[in-house]
Structure 1
Amino acid sequence: MSELPPDLPRLRTLETWLQLTLDQVRQAITVAQQQAALQQRAVPPPPPDWVLQLRIDGEGQPIAVHVGGCRTAGRRARPISRDQAMRAIAEGLEPCGLCRPDTELGIL
């Protein structure tokens, strides 16, 4: 026993509905593929010019100044301006020995 209607007019109607539905699904797949391709091509934002490395203990105290993108800054870093970086180094905050923000800033 089939769950499909037995007469030709209803079968043709069902066929038309299925074809329209299939077309909609295929269009949705195309859109999803295009969006996925765009997301893969998306360029990550550039790193900030300067960052402050913060202590791990949760107090959030700055411990070093880095050039933006320096991998030794770690995850606990926040972006700062050029003036803030210069001021922090002038006030005695340690510049990173690897990326040398003091040299980049012209502070020797």
Structure 2
Amino acid sequence: MHEELSSPELEKLQLLHRVQLRQLEQTERWIGTELARLHERAARRPLPDGPTLVVSYLREGGQPVMDSVHLGDCRMASKHVRPLTDEQARRALAVDGIRACEICRPDAELGILD
């Protein structure tokens, strides 16, 4: 017959293993609960109404200078922006030479492509 190998040290390690597995399961449940809470909160939060197009400003010599045109929800725009109508955005891109954001592509949205 095959005798099972055992020692006090092995029994301690097996107990530690079972305890750690239970702790890991608990942590995974907590993570699942928190993720569910975050998803629920995000689903309830309304999207802010804002402009569809904005011009982003930078400072040069202490003066604001138009830098780029973005879609209203683009996170690449600086925190200093001004809303634009579609016509103002077209003019800024086509006539004034203001660059279009390469991430949100307002020029494609407006039908202006280089």
TM-score (norm 2): 0.54
Once the two structures are superposed, residues 46-92 of structure 1 have per-residue CA deviations (whole angstroms, 9 ceiling, x without a partner) of 12110000013441110100011100112111111110000000021
Distance 2:48 2:83 in 1: 13
Match of 2:101 among 96, 99, 104: 96
Percent of residue pairs identical: 43
Q: Is the aligned partner of 1:105 residue 2:110?
A: yes
Given that 1:56 and 1:76 are in contact with CA atoms closer than 8 Å, whether structure 2 keeps it comes out as no
Residue 61 of structure 1: SS of its match in structure 2? strand
| Paired letter, 2:98 | L
Q: TM-score, normalised by structure 1?
A: 0.57
**Residue in structure 2 matched with residue 25 of structure 1 by the alignment:** none
**Superposed displacement of residue 42, structure 1:** 7.6
Two-structure CA RMSD over aligned residues (Å): 1.7
Q: Name the count of aligned residue pairs.
A: 68
> 1:58-69, aligned counterparts within 5 Å?
58-69=62-73
CA drift of 1:44 comes to: 5.8
CA distance in 1, matches of 2:70, 2:105: 7
Distance 1:97 1:87 in 2: 18
State the SS of the aligned residue for 1:71.
Answer: coil
